[in-house]
Amino acid sequence: MVLRPKQLVLATGMAGVPHVPEIPGADAFRGTQCHSSKYTSGEAYRGKACVVLGACNSAHDICADLWEQGADVTMVQRSSTHVAKSDSLMELGLGGLYSESAVKAGITTDVADLIFASIPYTILPALQIPVCKAIAERDARFYERLTKAGFLHDFGDDGSGLFMKYLRRGSGYYIDVGASELIIQGKIKLKSGVSIKRVEEDSVVLTDGTSLPADLIVYATGYGSMNGWAARIISQEVADRVGKCWGSGSGTTKDPGPWEGELRNMWKPTHQPALWFHGGNLHQSRHYSQFLSLQLKARMEGIATPVYGTGEVHHLS
């Protein structure tokens, strides 16, 4: 039986199809290699050499798990990453909306979600920069130690930190829950400013010529745009008709312009009739799912739903 839905919603969290780099020699590797989305546990790698390519959330979590399981693990950091300590982020960045004190002040989760979603993206960076400066001051010693360990760190192109990186590109950051200290102490080994040039039978060769023994290679190399799922499930033609999902066209790293003013193709009609995209963090999923469902319900009830100002497609992925 072939299903022909009147409306199709692709709910993809925030990630598209896993991106696995094509590296010379990978087919000859005798160990195990996988994308971070396929990683389950480091239990089988006690005493073995493991290489994790990447330095964002998944890479840190996987490296920490491998170290806890007794593996010899090296993180390969290709480019600069923003790190924010979890407690600092919660207290300085989110405490006004999501905290016990906020609840006592009468700010329910629904109200907090509405307030957060009501801030126009054009002014959001200016609100985030002072928060990042406060975090940098509070955790100055932490950042000094992390940099001394060789980790490449930044606060984003304009100093607006984690939330703007998330909204603009959905990558380039780590919320620290302990892995950074393992890097600082050398328990998670680090090679920064390099990538994997080629893979050999039992090792990887980095772009600086360093050779690292490897029984496991994990590619924590992120994901493509969500329209990649449309390409897989429907067709490349449909994916190209929709264009890139996520990002606001800020002109910053990995978020090319022109300026959109809101997230591309999220929770709203796309250029492909009856195809919708839903994703994001808990706040966004809670808040925007309400309006996505209302739009679908209106169409199912035959209520007129004119669409105004649908943006042009400037980027396909």
* DSSP-derived secondary structure for the chain: -----SSEEEE-TT--SBP----TTGGG--SEEEEGGG---SGGGTTSEEEEE--SHHHHHHHHHHHHTT-EEEEEE-S-BEEEEHHHIIIIIITTTSSHHHHHTT--HHHHHHHHHTS-TTTHHHHHHHHHHHHHHHTHHHHHHHHHTT--B-S-TTS-HHHHHHHHTS-SEEEESSHHHHHHTTSSEEEES--EEEEETTEEEETTS-EEE-SEEEE---B--THHHHHHHT-HHHHHHH---S----SBTTB-SS--SS-TTSSS--SSTTEEEE--SHHHHHHHHHHHHHHHHHHHTT-------PPP-----
Along the chain (317 residues), what's the average pLDDT of each consecutive run of 10 residues? 58 76 97 97 97 98 98 98 97 94 95 96 97 98 98 98 96 97 98 98 98 98 94 95 96 96 94 93 94 94 88 91
Residue 14 near residue 246 (C-beta atoms within 8 A) = yes
So what's the pLDDT on residue 1? 38
Other C-beta atoms within 10 Å of 47: how many?
9
Tell whether the torsion through CA atoms of 265, 268, 271 and 275 is positive or negative.
positive
Count other Cβ atoms within 10 Å, centred on residue 302.
7
The structural architecture, per CATH, of the domain 26-81+180-219 is: 3-Layer(bba) Sandwich (3.50)
What's the confidence (pLDDT) of residue 311? 83
In contact, 57 and 14? CB cutoff 8 Å: no
Residue position matching structure tokens 């996520």: 246
Q: Residue 306: is the preceding peptide bond cis (ω within 30°)?
A: no
Q: Is the peptide bond before 258 cis (omega within 30 degrees of 0)?
A: yes
The per-residue pLDDT for 12 is: 58
Sign of torsion, CA 299 301 302 305? Answer: negative
Taking the CA atoms of 12, 13, 14 and 17 in sequence, report the sign of the dihedral they define: negative
Q: How many CA atoms lie within 13 A of 238 on its CB side?
A: 17
pLDDT at 2: 41
Residue 13: predicted pLDDT = 56
Tokens 């990186």 correspond to what residue? Answer: 165
Domain locations in the chain? 8-16+224-300, 26-81+180-219, 82-171
Alpha-carbon distance 59 to 37, whole Å?
Answer: 11
Total Cβ atoms within 10 A of residue 151: 21
142 phi-psi bin (left φ>0, alpha ψ -120 to 50, beta other): alpha
- The pTM of the full predicted model, rounded to 2 decimals, is 0.93
272 phi and psi, to 5 degrees? Answer: -100, 110
Tell me which amino acid residue 109 is.
T
**Contact 73/53 with Cβ under 8 angstroms?**
no
SS3 188: coil
- Do residues 78 and 219 touch, judged by C-beta distance below 8 A? no
